[in-house]
Structure 1
Amino acid sequence: MHVMILGGGVVGVTSAYYLAKAGHRVTVIERQPGAGLETSFANAGQVSPGYSAPWAAPGIPVKALKWLMMRHRPLVLWPRLEPRLYGWLARMLANCTQDAYARNKGRMVRLAEYSRDALRDLRTETGLAYDHREKGTLQLFRTRKQLDHVGDDTGVLDAYGVPYEVLDPAGCIAAEPALARVGGVFVGGLRLPGDETGDAHLFTQGLAALCEGLGVTFRYGVSIARLHREGDRITGVETTEGVLLRADAYVAAMGSYTPALLRPLGIALPVYPVKGYSLTLPVTDPDAAPVSTVMDETYKVAITRLGERIRVGGTAELAGFSRALREPRRETLARSVGDLFPAGGDFARASFWTGLRPMTPDGTPIVGATRIANLFTNTGHGTLGWTMACGSGRLLADLVTGRTPDIASDDLAIDRYAA
């Protein structure tokens, strides 16, 4: 079978890899000149199944109002005359119940744990190097109130057998020794020892090269204009150059741009771009830098060690498809890493970046079949595209091939929104 992947980010490339391993002929269409150059390029670097949780949670509406008032706020909402934004926000608010949170987090942890295992298998099989570390994630609490609410998440972790440790300040320092230099900033933490870190861009580029060795064709610099449909099947992909590309099956993996591609087909994907930012600092003192990933719970910022760099990622900005780099967002990232690892990196040489995360209102990606027989989706991973990429790609390949997946997947496809 010839399968065409629409999108060459980490999710599209992992989908291509597993489909090629399943024996299919695969073509990847990507508008950029290479793989992993958009949202996969400079994300926070976490592979964090233990930290997988929907943003829609009980108490979030009240917290969001407080965040919007903070100087270094983790949430930014630009008022816009955009019905899609407010419809998406309404659906997200509808998921801010205890039952919905437990259901959605369960789905996310299931896929993320499977994905972490798939990534380990892939790494063992291929020897792919991408500055990865297997030293866990430390969610750091600056206030006693944050620490007292740690049980809100550990219940689901218990249900899925995800290991964790609730730590006092001494335990946090044992996990991340550089924190000994900033005593008094934090009161405790939640450590997830099964989490990993790694550079998603390096991974995606390396895996794309391996895919080419498996016979995958990459067509870079090709923009998609529309999908052609006859009856219940897609019959081709029209490019902006007017060329019609044909395959037997199609996988829409274009992140935040997927809804616009599928909307003319009558498929309404509830995916909205949530803008994130990152700083990348060269390490100046390894002993003063993080060992792995530290999640600053107050600012919702992830600080990750990637080889000889520190990657600082965070902020949820609802600003449509704007790619403007806004200085206040940089200040928030710098404030977080400056508080916790002030001597670890060279702030004067930091690079500033932004990307658009494709977010669903329930936090769970949309992976699986659509009502069009030969069209599948693999999108909507939000902040967890890197965490869930290998599991989503492997699952998608099973579904396209007609094999029974290793994990339950009926509640991951687009039809879960029909109810």
Structure 2
Amino acid sequence: MTLHPLTILFLGSTLMLGAGNSYSAETAAAVSKTSGLPANMSAFIRTMSDKHNFSKNELYRLFQSVELQPRIIEAITRPAEAMPWYKYRKIFMTEARIEGGVKFLKDNAAALSATEQKYGIPPEIIVAIIGVETSYGANKGSYRVIDALSTLAFNYPKRSPFFTSELENFLLLCREEKIDPLQPTGSYAGAMGIPQFMPSSFRAYAADFEEDQKRDIWNNPADAIASVGNYFFKHHWQRDQPVAFRASAQGNAYRQALQGDIKPDRTISQLKALQVKPQQTLTADIKAKLLTFELEQGQELWLGLDNFYVITRYNHSPLYAMAVYQLSRAIAEHPETPKISASLPDAPVAAPSLPESGPQAPIYIQLGAFGNEANAQALRKKIAEHSLLPLPKIKPVTQNGTTLHKVQIGPLKSAEDAERLNAKLNEIGIDQTRYIVESIGN
């Protein structure tokens, strides 16, 4: 995202300086009276000045350029999630969307694989999120973010507190990232870039995949992929665990389990007592949420597990989460999809235990896998700074035309040695490791 020279001056010399730099309260009052800005917008400007040390003068100038758009209010009052499931599903489960997901996965295999290694999020889930949000970056939204957020903050009382907070975060984001506030575009709700992050989510979860000091979710698919991975990881995605299963039910007792929010709240045993029958064999003490989805004729029941709930942290609608899940399965199962991950399992599994070591089972600890070799070298250098730790090796692996640079320590003599070393790695902040039982030469 490029900056006009005047914008750089604006960001560097005013928004980033204190509110009191020769700009008096009397001057602010005079500007407010003559600016023609709505009273709530002027109050917001004063808050940003007092709370975050923005210049009132430049904020008044900025908001003179903001356009409050009635069509944004119209759009937000008729969200797609208000549709019944059978209509909502048709929007996303199309051949074009599935094939687009396969292509996006192929084109970004290295970033997806590295993100899975780091965060534990299956590539097809990340691809499906981006597919549902923006059709893989093709439809990122054409509203200026500041127009959308300002319209909803100042002209939509029903959700004014939320969008006022997002507008606050947006201005902070622009100051931190040195972005012209009038430049970023997004959805009618102010969601931004390839993954459609709200400003608060950008500040909390956006990731710099290539470590080039930029978090460009508008134009860089790798940053967008890593950002979604980080978002899901921070919301407690469970690595190697499933998302949802079909279910059936007899009688009406099951309706009790449909009440409440969408967080898993009953064990499989408790659900079976309500005559709910999972269509997969599940451990009795696993918690799930019984969900119903409207069909043209009747309904279908699903059990949403913890990872289904994590998807709803991106968008709180169960319809949204189910669309993401079903699209992810269609992409993963497409015959042209490269197998860059183990994909989602069919049933919950325990964390794998280490086998007994021996000449036939060498054990390695994998610290990460990177499309950019420089990142692998940087991680190796970090380990080298701790002289008591073994120096890792970098193993280039090419699959489906994509090369990943895996950083591994080993072979280790026993499972006990591996676990002790892994604990030391965790102490220095390397906590996304995994055990590998293979030869580094393979």
With the length of structure 1 as denominator, give the TM-score of the two structures.
0.22
> By percentage of residues, which structure has more strand?
1
Larger Rg: 2
> By percentage of residues, which structure has more helix?
2
Q: Determine which structure has greater relative contact order: mean sequence separation of CA pairs < 8 Å that are 6+ residues apart, divided by chain length.
A: 1
With the length of structure 2 as denominator, give the TM-score of the two structures.
0.21
